[in-house]
Amino acid sequence: MSDLDEFLEQSQDLLLAEVREHYSEKVVDHWQHPRNPRVMHGPDGHALRQGECGDDMEIFLRIRGGRVTEASFMTDGCLTSIVTGSMAVELATGRNVGEARAISARDILDGLDGLPGESEHCAELASETLRAAVKDYLLSQREPWKKIYQQD
Ligand code: FES
């Protein structure tokens, strides 16, 4: 192993140890293996929201027979933005639209076994974005032409 490889490995170990000190194992898992972090082409529901911190959260939904069959997210935010987006799409997948719309920040926080208080607003941003993506889908079902002109 080269000196550079060794240095990188040690840095990663240190970072992981630091994250483990402050966050739950579920947070570590979603940070290391985020669920479906990608742009979805031709989603049935989509929303982009910006938090007060300036981070963007984007959620895409594929919906068949009134059920979320696939959900994905993108964010330019930090670790807690990534894990809350990841948990939001994990919780939404397989749910009917009413259930997906009802997923709250508390559900996301519980799914992650909590976050430090100063990071709880990230779960608010993820749940708000998910709700907006479901609304986008519902709007397109009611009045398809509106989706073309109206940003949710
Ligand atoms: Fe920006 Fe969490 S720090 S949404």
> pLDDT at position 149, please?
52
Q: Which amino acid is at 140?
A: S
The residue whose CA has the least distance to atom 4 of ligand 1 is: 122
Q: What is the pLDDT of residues 78-132, one digit of tens each?
A: 999 999 999 999 999 999 999 999 999 999 999 999 999 999 999 999 999 999 9
User: Residue 116: which domain range?
Assistant: 25-149
> pLDDT at position 152, please?
47
> pLDDT at position 104, please?
98
Distance of CA 68 to the CA centre of its chain: 14
Q: Is residue 135 part of a domain?
A: yes
Atom of ligand 1 nearest to the CA of 75: 4
Please report, for the domain that includes residue 48, its CATH number.
3.90.1010.10
Q: Is residue 7 part of a domain?
A: no
Phi, psi at residue 99, to the nearest 5°? -65, -40
Q: Is residue 92 part of a domain?
A: yes
- Which contiguous run of DSSP H or E holds residue 126? helix 120-142
Q: Is residue 11 part of a domain?
A: no
Model confidence, pTM: 0.88
The residue whose CA has the least distance to atom 2 of ligand 1 is: 122
> pLDDT at position 93, please?
98
How many domains is the chain partitioned into structurally?
Answer: 1
Q: Is residue 6 part of a domain?
A: no
